[in-house]
Chain A
């Protein structure tokens, strides 16, 4: 099986769909000729032409607004917002329009669009190249929110997103583009070619939207997480020796409640872990769900480990980023509780 980085897997997903479906179009800032600032669309314009893959003006509201119009016409745009930190100018189009088109028109018009956007920190991106704004989207009825953590899932989930008839915001943790990252910034970076999840089948396959994956089985505590934090959790488990079950949610909306409940009922303890800021972050929703559904199985309070409630700093990157030491410390405290 071929080995791919997350970038190559994402590119391959678009290649597969562009080849299979004439109605799929790909565009965004620097996406066309240049192939994207992260190379996620490299070579696609040359292969499929400028009518299928093209550069857009620097206007996020325009990128998403035109995509909604195209979706209403009946084609399937997969557009890129260069950084999740820059999705806000498109927020009105996403929240007020894409999310509501089907509902407000009684399915007269639908919005089969995919919005790809690199997210997350751990790369010295500072305030506007590091954010994780997923909870601003999970709070909105009518959109699906997806966030893969490895090349295999990235390709399968992106193909599934493009084929989905609902609008999907597809977050790509840019720290994972070239290899898994466990928060140990002082160690050499690894790449996907050495990781089993870097094996990506050729051609078409999908990973179902709305299904979590048990990334690591364990008995003592459940860690609900996604994106880069999956590997941070794994490192913390290895370093503390605590037998935690790590659930990679993969899709935040709709949420795979069954997998979550099954795991927490088994372990009796739950940590929710994300890079995004704590207050009103997606972890709050996860904690509430677990509290409501698993209350009588819980042996300790649900613990949230998240980014601090500050803008993402530059110099203080590793004080901000919830690394394995912080996660490990919280895990130990939970087990003693």
Chain B
């Protein structure tokens, strides 16, 4: 008789499925202000606990507390709130465009606005982000023209990418926003390479990689960490843990019982785990990591803990795989509401101003959309001639022949 029972195959399941009550018991949330702020030149080994806890600044009363609350610029907070309102309004409007059939596809970042907007506020001109498709806030908190963004979504005659790219895969070198790829995780290692180049050239610019919880399972995540560990380039490795990769909960990425931030420790990379819906915590942690990178102390990994409120994309229906009320039950709340309450409590903002700002951005986006639509919708106006350019720097003969065959 065997001493061994039959082996069992383990497949993680989320705590709730459609019809269940939302359950976030697995997510431990420490008190705001309870996590220390180490020196920017700290070694990974001396700040290990920061990968397992959660940096939070705003308490339940909306007050900014603890070491991470120090030295935050009020103007950045006000601008941050406005940018978040703008991003959310933009997402709503683009979703409508898709429903109207004016574009084929869109992806919202609802609930995650604080992360991109707060992080962008800590960067300087010349730094480079390597975003995923859910960091529109990085671009929307610069002076990049909104009309150009919408033209890209519409693939029209004014599309900066000439109709070649799926909607939302923006690109702007000037605005520190690397060209988005549909292939997940690839840009994370490219950010490390960009930062290596900055160090090789003795520059002071830094790079930021972005990846979601699901894509940390991609091999390029490991490639990024090992290269960042080896060469210590000025890069910030952002993991946006919104709990969901389309229909797969974080456990399918191996993130149910260990945090994503903890992965950095095995590579000797300092890691922070941050309340991603707390704009003050986002900005403070970003500033810390930016300062660390720019002073030459090397990479930082930051896990931003948040929740994907919206469907994965306009092609997705979350009611098929998660409890309907899960997003409203998310214990870290709504990033816009939390920052708003903080600023209102400090007398820096009001309900009236909030309503007014929402109206102003709606007007701006409505006008930008109208202008963008005048250049065509859903691919109309994009030239087939543009299809053959820029495959190579100079068009090789076979492409010239193919273009001629098409008669364009």
Contacts and interface: CB of A to CB of B under 8 A. Distances in A.
Interface string A82-95: 00000001001100
B190 A65 contact: yes
B223 A69 contact: no
A149 to B, nearest CB: 22
A59 B181 contact: no
Given A89-B219, A104-B164, A106-B160, A69 B189 contact: yes
B248 interface: no
A142 B392 contact: yes
Contact of B391 (A72, A74, A141): A141
Contacts of B179: 101, 104-105, 108-109
A66 B198 CA distance: 12
Contacts of B405: none
Given A66-B193, A68-B190, A92-B186, A142 B391 contact: yes
A128 interface: no
A66 B173 CA distance: 17
Interface stretch (B88-96, B342-350, B393-401): B393-401
Contact of B183 (A57, A92, A164): A92
Given A75-B201, A104-B165, A69 B393 contact: no
A141 B399 CA distance: 10
A257 interface: yes
Interface of A: 23, 25, 51-52, 56-57, 59, 61-62, 65-70, 72-75, 77, 89, 92-93, 96-97, 100-110, 141-142, 144, 164-166, 210, 253-255, 257
B193 A254 contact: no
B404 to A, nearest CB: 14
B338 interface: no
A62 B392 contact: no
Contact of A70 (B196, B391, B396): B196
Nearest to A99: B391
B193 A69 contact: yes
A257 B200 CA distance: 41
A104 B173 CA distance: 13
A255 B220 CA distance: 33
A302 to B, nearest CB: 19
A70 B183 contact: no
B75 interface: no
Contacts of A104: 161, 164-165, 169, 171, 179, 181
B246 interface: no
A3 B395 CA distance: 36
Nearest to A60: B223
Q: Please tell me the size bucket of the interface on B.
A: 35 or more
Given A73-B194, A106-B390, A144-B392, A65 B223 contact: yes
A103 B192 contact: no
B54 interface: no
A254 B397 contact: yes
Given A73-B128, A102-B392, A103-B164, A62 B190 contact: no
A106 B183 CA distance: 18
A202 to B, nearest CB: 27
B162 interface: yes
Given A69-B196, A255-B398, A109 B230 contact: no
B178 interface: yes
A96 B181 contact: yes
B226 interface: yes
Given A70-B194, A108-B179, A25 B200 contact: yes
B341 interface: no
Given A69-B190, A75-B197, A106 B398 contact: no
A72 B396 contact: no
A61 B161 contact: no
Contact of B393 (A51, A62, A102, A253): A102
Nearest to B198: A73
6 contacts: A67-B193, A70-B196, A93-B220, A253-B396, A254-B392, A254-B398
B392 A166 contact: yes
Contacts of A92: 183, 186, 220
A72 to B, nearest CB: 6
A257 B397 CA distance: 9
Contacts of B173: 105, 108-109
